[in-house]
Structure 1
Amino acid sequence: MNDQLLADKTIAITASRRAEEQAGAFERHGARVLLAPTVRIVKTDDDAALAAETQQVLAHPPHVLLVATGHGLKSWLDATEKNGGAERLKEMLSDAQIYVRGAKGRGAVRSLGWQDSGIAQVETTESLVELALEKGVAGKNVTIQQHGKPDPALVKRLEDAGATVTQVHPNRWEEPENPALVDELINRLIAGEIDAITFTAAPAVEALLEKAYHLGRGDEVEAALRTETVVAVVGPVTAEPLNAIGVNPVCPERFRMGAMVKYLIEALQ
């Protein structure tokens, strides 16, 4: 399709994963696209830190497993398959009480033939930790599969409740490969040259704001996101750091990237 509905629009994409897929969808409607990943996902296959964390889990079999994302759980197990120890790890995890943050996490758990013991009331890591605390973690080994930028305060709450906590960080976020593109994004946001911007993960929002404040332009970027630019997010978890600064992004009913793209295209017409 090449209907040129977005011919006069410039859309910024902050994702590091599936960014080209987003760009293609917008470009087919005539939009100009700025690809400016604000964070980079570390590939699990090459992640020495994840391998070390996995060894910690194997050394301290979990009584409780907290699954933040289905994608993260799958990436972790896939990496272990390639690096050795997968069957032993799966056996340990399947024996644990498993709590999940959302439907996709539950789906990933059940696709492995496991059963979860509960799902968080709200799709946030804080709600997931609340669920574990409510069920009881005193004297237990708790493994938490983190997502994005972990909150140390949540880990401390588990430890203060008597848990021994081991964290694993599949798909860790790091600095983007091309920081100059983020600088360009910040300048163009402030100049009013970005009609819309998409976020598919909360850390991408946090990284953009952190960089803007580092440059002394945080207030200007926040103002642009509130007034000049249509902000689209893939779901409410991604929206949280935006809501905190008074930005109300558009969000599809189905928390999927494709749904977000379609929703934004309609919003810009």
Structure 2
Amino acid sequence: MSKGSKPLSGKTIVIAGSRKLDEMSALIEKQGGTAIVRSLQGVTTFKEQEMEQELRLFIANRPEWVIFTTGIGAKALFDAADRLGIKDQFVETVQQSKIAIRGYKTYNFLKTQELAPDIRDSDGTMKGLEDQLESTTFTKEQIWIQLHGEPAPDLVQFLEAKGASSVHTLLPYLNIAPEADTLKQLRQEIQQGEIDAICFTTAVQVRYLFKDAREHGYEEELRSALNQGVLAVSVGKVTSEALTQAGVTRIVAPENERMGAMIVEMAKYFEQ
């Protein structure tokens, strides 16, 4: 890097998220880069009517275990129970269950409800949660899992293999696929070598990008691009895990899982 130039000078950076776009763009531009938004995550919709049935069923079933996997999803369930006038029954049902959680945001939210987990992940990932649950048996026990945006078949299979009588998943939010035009535009930009890095802020963005690549027969080309020409930048461990699972070996991610820290870490990488 020439003296006096900024770390991201001459770099075109894709933001794959759908939140805090102005803030992220400003941070990239402050470091000398050009930010372009290619949102790989459609609007996440809350399933209001379905949640009423689910919450009433949860209270009636009184499962032995409840697993919360995201702070925003856990909060959505408590808020929905409050709106329906059944929060006391909901909280009581959670209290009589054993609680397992994934993620620091989930932990922080449960603290506001004066609830503490019996089991907590080791590193913020689903795999880290499974590792902590490894020594637990769930023989003939009912388990309810709060998810966010998409199913988690590996976790369900893991719990069933450990003897659970039933594993019920709650999806208060549902991810909507990104726009086909957005995917096509990004596909072309990657193939034409027009971008230097992609900032991924959730694992689902990675999955949608690789799903599109499979459908258009350029998955190997995408993997090769991310391992050589286009830098994969991840906001944290869960997103990095999705990239690793997709075969990406060159990933830049901050210790502190925040979007601002991610931009700083990317700038440091290019500066070096």
Using structure 1 for the length normalisation, give the TM-score: 0.88
What is the CA distance between 1:133 and its match in structure 2? 5.3
Match of 1:21 among 20, 23, 39: 23
Q: Does 1:101 align with 2:88?
A: no
Aligned to 1:71: 72
Distance 1:123 1:93 in 2: 22
Identity of aligned residues (%): 27
Consecutive unaligned residues of structure 1, counting only runs of 5 or more, are none
Matches within 5 A, 1:74-153: 74-132=75-133, 134-153=135-154
Q: Does 1:31 align with 2:30?
A: no
Question: One-letter code of the match for 1:144?
Answer: I
Q: Does 1:255 align with 2:257?
A: yes
Consecutive unaligned residues of structure 2, counting only runs of 5 or more, are none
What is the CA distance between 1:16 and its match in structure 2? 2.0
Distance 2:220 2:177 in 1: 22
CA deviation digits over 1:4-55, x for unaligned, max 9?
Answer: 65342211111123333322322333432221111224232x5444444333
SS in 2 for 1:172: strand
Distance 2:177 2:128 in 1: 27
Aligned to 1:222: 223
Aligned to 1:213: 214
Question: One-letter code of the match for 2:219?
Answer: G
Instruction: Summarize the Cα distance change of 1:50–1:257 in structure 2 as closer, same or farther, 3 Å threshold.
Output: farther
Check conservation: 2:231, 2:250, Cα contact below 8 A: no
Aligned to 1:234: 235
Extract structure 1 runs of 4+ deviating beyond 6 A: none
Check conservation: 1:27, 1:33, Cα contact below 8 A: yes
Check conservation: 2:150, 2:171, Cα contact below 8 A: no
Question: One-letter code of the match for 1:60?
Answer: N
Instruction: Summarize the Cα distance change of 1:84–1:15 in structure 2 as closer, same or farther, 3 Å threshold.
Output: farther
What is the CA distance between 1:70 and its match in structure 2? 1.9
Distance 1:159 1:41 in 2: 32
Check conservation: 1:148, 1:202, Cα contact below 8 A: no
Aligned to 1:185: 186
